[in-house]
Structure 1
Amino acid sequence: MTSQTQSARPKTRESWSSRPAFIIAAISSAIGLGNIWRFPGVAYENGGGAFLIPYLIALFTAGLPILFLDFAVGHRFRAAPPLALRRITKKLEPLGWWQAIICFIISSYYAAILAWALCYVWFSLRQSWGDDAATFFAVDFLKATDPGVTPTVVPAIFICLAVIWAGIIIFAALGLRKGLQLANRITLPALVVLFLLIVIYGVTLPGAADGLNTFFTPSWEALADPTVWIAAYGHIFFSFSIAFGIMLTYSSYLKKRSDLTGSGVVVAFSNTSFELLAGVGVFAALGFLANRQATTVAELEGITGVGLAFITFPTLLSEMPGGQIVGVLFFLSLVFAGFTSLLSLMQVVIGSVADKTGWSTARSAIFSGLITGALSLVLYSTSAGLSILDVVDAFINNVGVVASAIAMILALGWGTKILPTLAAHLNAVSSLHVGRLWSLMIKVVTPAILIVIFVTGTWSYIVDGYGGYPTWFIMVAGWAMLGVVAAASLLLSFSRYRRPFAEDYDPETQFDLTDTSYHHAKGD
């Protein structure tokens, strides 16, 4: 390496202040809106208590192995996805940009859901939805229109969305230690405390026991249904924020002596624990609602997703003693859970821009935040926002994210010879070692399951469409959107890196795996 190249390098690269700071950030990223409104419904619809068996098996055979893979790539190659994968082989840079652009698109609509939750904090104080939460949400609040109808701006959503993006840009521009770490230290404890209060109150309500029995009672026959196992693997995959750049980027900011696998285990089980807590809170509340309506939980509508958060729960709050206070706590929980997850999504975009351009963190954050925020405001602050969000979310997750995971796993497991090096890297810096079983999961088990999920999901969209939307709308918001992502990924790969050390980075000079000082790292 020439002295000229060495002098061109910045003296330091951003890093987490400590391993616990990284763990808190990774947990904050993993714990998002899906933990609160997706896991309880998925578990209930796929065997109740029996779902925990395929869930835990998926955790150990897919969740942890891919999480370790992300950590290894990010930590060893010290960059966001495009540059990190390029440092393995230039052919993989488009895959890195695919992941970064996916995070860009998810960020644009994820912020919209946070804006809804922020608006509902205020609505909860007055219980503005009245006796018909569904009509209030779709008509009075979102002013939702069918595809093809000229959209109009919804002022309340525009304002809340602008507030969300202002907060994201400020925290992201402050950098890792002054921005992200501060946000995580505030929001994660606040989220846990708020949700614990909701759970404690919820389990004391009449009918709560019936709701919990519905959630935990196992349907053992469900274990013979392949779709239940696919649902378990699909949920673990999405819940852990793996294989589309987030954990890879976060681990790239770790110091050299960092226990990667130990950190991964802590993150995984913290995420799982919160999901179970969310399940208890949600189904205790649903049991109360069923009790008040003299029906059963099984007959209630909207027990997962957006319907649970913005229709079923407001209906519940109207029936619940102290509903105004519980409503504020619940929607603040959504805001806190989503804010740090949105920050982690944006960090992939910001890191990719910074690596490519050589800009500072602040400049990259402001640029990325303004571009993503502008797209978010244009698309999702209007009366067409709900329809666009629904289709884009379905296609970006079930096609784009799964395709990213399959491509990354096959490329690293079969297309290159990097997997043994990554295993050696994990073992050199971690207390918990990986071996042949980890390689087997990465090369065989996980890609096989993900391919099944990808083929079944994609084929369903091709044959049946999605959500009853017009074909033209699915083509534009779904398939054409993915085509734009693919084209942009290729174009960005051809542009030149501004940083002179982007091309000559040599991980062997950064990590000497024969150096015993790396082995069994205790962290910083």
Structure 2
Amino acid sequence: MARAQWNSQVGFIFAAVGSAIGLGNIWRFSYLAYEHGGGAFLIPYFTALLTAGIPLLILEYSIGHERVGSAPLAYRKIGRRWEWLGWWSVIFVMFGIELYYSVIIAWCLNFFTLSFNLAWGNDPNQFFFQEFLRVSDSPGEFGEIRTPILYSLIVIWLANWFIVYRGVQKGIELANKIMMPLLLVLTLILVFWSLQLEGASHGISVYLTPDFSKLTQPEVWIDAYSQIFFTLSLGFGIMIAYASYLPDKTDITRNAMIIAFINSGYSLLTGFGVFAVLGFMAQSEGKEIADVVNESIGLAFVAYPKAISLMPGGNLFGAVFFLCLTVAGLSSAVSIIEAFVSAMIDKFSLNRRLLVTFVSALGFIGGTVFTSQAGLLWLDIIDHFITHYGLILVGILECIVIGWIFHLPTLRRHINAISSFKVGAGWSFLIRLFVPFMLSVILLGDLIDEFRQPYGNYGWTALILIGRDWLLLTLILALAVSSRPWKNKPQQARQSGQRAD
């Protein structure tokens, strides 16, 4: 079976940027910048980008391109005993992150329609948690399925299915060529509109004013590295699969730098819009920025709707904002599905269209748990365990397997033979020692915090049965799938060098 390829380098860049840019670029980066020294946060942020983000992106692109395969196939070509690692990442991302991420996109779609008549009323906090989600008191109290969210989830999964069903060129590449320019236009509209609001300049000042004293705090640097790792979709298996669709001659290092800087530039751009709106809100209510800023979900579904209700033409602004979130989320969601679909096709030579249909139906069914009244609580626990433990462990093992077990100079020769920017011993040092060290520090810090106090004040039973066991179940599935024989014997690497087992 001939391997699919991107129609153009531009198509690949749009798709990779679409995967990297997601909801976290819009709400998490801005909050971290505010919390960790404003403009001063850019120092650890770009340090993390240069010493971990770009080196790891080059690593994932090169291994997918040189080994010509999805994450499981690429690791299988490195050594039979490492195939499970590729499967673990694509399985817990597909049947973990994708399930709840699609539900968050469904919320965005709901709020897009609610924006036209500002249906959240005067108290968006009460509306979101008590009326829209109707959050239960504990993860064990499922309550009812929230039908408005369920209906929107159907729409999101139909969109996911339609895009991935059409394949690499006519589906993912074409969709991202439409969605990425649309996302940029919507974002620019929001930012310029926000900058015209009264109080916007105060918000921008708070966003950018550097507090260099914050840089002495270790957690500032740890959060910078965490943000870079997650925002570039590292450890997801996505970038490995996407790189495997590139032609023989492709500039890996240039593409990695372009995609990394576009992603970070987008985060910086949206920060202006976010804090301009928060500045307007603070002035309108006679409060300080600290009293109106919210972290994560609260920023998008509580703080922003409140600001939207206060501004002239707020209903249209709200519609553009939530459409922007929906597009950003959808471009990331389809990349997760493709990483899993690519792996299944590589191993079992399955029919793409039947497989995508089955996976989409299964994803929708699995996601319904997050549409229940306990959905937000399940989402919070599973997201914590997957992003703080699963992805970090995959990142550490990725560096160990490729940096120490695989013959890294083979990969460097491959990169340098086709790339304009050459990598040398410094890149090898980052992959072998520095990046796994930083990821280990993040992992250790999370474990220490976990044992000091259970995450989110949930009970240990809920954390173990929902969070830990979700990860363990996906690990068992990964080991089971990796033990199955390949329908087609994996081919050798694209370049001569270390061969597959």
Q: Identify the residue that residue 209 of structure 1 maps to in structure 2.
A: 201
Q: CA deviation at 1:301?
A: 4.3
Is 1:506 paired with 2:492? yes
Q: CA deviation at 1:417?
A: 3.4
Q: Work out which of the residue numbers 348, 367, 382 in structure 2 matches 1:392.
A: 382
Give 1:439-458 correspondences, 5 Å limit: 439-458=428-447
Partner Cα separation in structure 2 for residue 244 and residue 296 of structure 1: 39
Q: CA deviation at 1:512?
A: 4.9
Q: CA deviation at 1:207?
A: 0.5
CA offsets per residue over residues 388-420 of structure 1, 9 Å max, x none?
001111111011111110111111112x13211
Q: CA deviation at 1:364?
A: 2.3
CA contact (8 A) 1:244 1:405 kept: no
CA offsets per residue over residues 219-275 of structure 1, 9 Å max, x none?
111111111111111111111111221111110111111111111111011001100
Give 1:93-132 correspondences, 5 Å limit: 93-104=83-94, 105-132=96-123
RMSD: 1.1
Give 1:452-467 correspondences, 5 Å limit: 452-467=441-456
Detail structure 1 runs of 4+ shifted over 4 Å in the superposition: none
Q: Identify the residue that residue 521 of structure 1 maps to in structure 2.
A: none
Amino acid at match of 2:82: L
Q: Work out which of the residue numbers 217, 221, 226 in structure 2 matches 1:229.
A: 221
Partner Cα separation in structure 2 for residue 46 and residue 383 of structure 1: 33
Partner Cα separation in structure 1 for residue 80 and residue 243 of structure 2: 21
Q: Identify the residue that residue 318 of structure 2 maps to in structure 1.
A: 327
Q: CA deviation at 1:495?
A: 1.2
Q: CA deviation at 1:470?
A: 2.0
CA contact (8 A) 2:142 2:375 kept: no
* Unmatched runs of 5 consecutive residues or more in structure 1: 1-9, 514-524
Is 1:42 paired with 2:32? yes
Amino acid at match of 2:144: T
CA contact (8 A) 1:119 1:160 kept: yes
Partner Cα separation in structure 2 for residue 422 and residue 462 of structure 1: 39
Q: Work out which of the residue numbers 401, 418, 427 in structure 2 matches 1:438.
A: 427
Give 1:14-33 correspondences, 5 Å limit: 14-33=4-23
Amino acid at match of 2:116: L
Partner Cα separation in structure 1 for residue 410 and residue 353 of structure 2: 34
CA offsets per residue over residues 178-203 of structure 1, 9 Å max, x none?
11012101111111101101100101
Partner Cα separation in structure 2 for residue 221 and residue 392 of structure 1: 34
Q: CA deviation at 1:368?
A: 1.8
Q: Identify the residue that residue 92 of structure 1 maps to in structure 2.
A: 82
Partner Cα separation in structure 2 for residue 195 and residue 393 of structure 1: 26
Q: Identify the residue that residue 292 of structure 1 maps to in structure 2.
A: 284
SS at match of 1:87: helix
SS at match of 2:116: helix
Amino acid at match of 1:225: Q
CA offsets per residue over residues 93-152 of structure 1, 9 Å max, x none?
111111111221111110000000000001000111101101111111112112222421
Q: Could you say if the C-alpha distance between residues 357 and 228 of structure 1 is closer, same or farther in structure 2, counting changes exceeding 3 Å?
A: same
CA contact (8 A) 1:58 1:233 kept: yes
Is 1:429 paired with 2:418? yes
Give 1:251-400 correspondences, 5 Å limit: 251-302=243-294, 304-377=295-368, 379-400=369-390
* Unmatched runs of 5 consecutive residues or more in structure 2: none
Q: CA deviation at 1:80?
A: 1.1
Partner Cα separation in structure 1 for residue 92 and residue 289 of structure 2: 36
CA contact (8 A) 2:11 2:174 kept: no
Q: CA deviation at 1:208?
A: 0.5
Q: CA deviation at 1:463?
A: 3.1
SS at match of 1:330: helix
Amino acid at match of 1:34: G
Q: Identify the residue that residue 72 of structure 1 maps to in structure 2.
A: 62
CA offsets per residue over residues 62-84 of structure 1, 9 Å max, x none?
00000000001100111111111
Partner Cα separation in structure 2 for residue 74 and residue 48 of structure 1: 37
Is 1:409 paired with 2:399? yes
Q: CA deviation at 1:356?
A: 1.9
Report the TM-score when normalising by structure 2: 0.97
Q: Comparing 128-137 with 457-466, which one deviates more in the overlay?
A: 457-466
Q: Identify the residue that residue 6 of structure 1 maps to in structure 2.
A: none
Amino acid at match of 1:93: E
CA contact (8 A) 1:108 1:376 kept: yes
Is 1:184 paired with 2:172? no
Q: Work out which of the residue numbers 151, 160, 167 in structure 2 matches 1:175.
A: 167
Equivalent pairs, count = 495
Q: Could you say if the C-alpha distance between residues 189 and 476 of structure 1 is closer, same or farther in structure 2, counting changes exceeding 3 Å?
A: same
Q: Comparing 320-329 with 454-463, which one deviates more in the overlay?
A: 454-463
Q: CA deviation at 1:355?
A: 1.4
SS at match of 1:65: helix
Amino acid at match of 2:363: T
Q: CA deviation at 1:454?
A: 0.5
Q: CA deviation at 1:511?
A: 2.4
CA offsets per residue over residues 395-448 of structure 1, 9 Å max, x none?
11011111110111111112x132111111111111111001100111111111
Amino acid at match of 1:62: A
Partner Cα separation in structure 2 for residue 470 and residue 387 of structure 1: 12
Partner Cα separation in structure 2 for residue 244 and residue 32 of structure 1: 14
SS at match of 2:135: coil
Amino acid at match of 1:100: V
Amino acid at match of 2:206: T
Indicate the percent of aligned positions where both proteins have the same amino acid: 38
Partner Cα separation in structure 1 for residue 201 and residue 436 of structure 2: 40
Q: CA deviation at 1:23?
A: 0.7
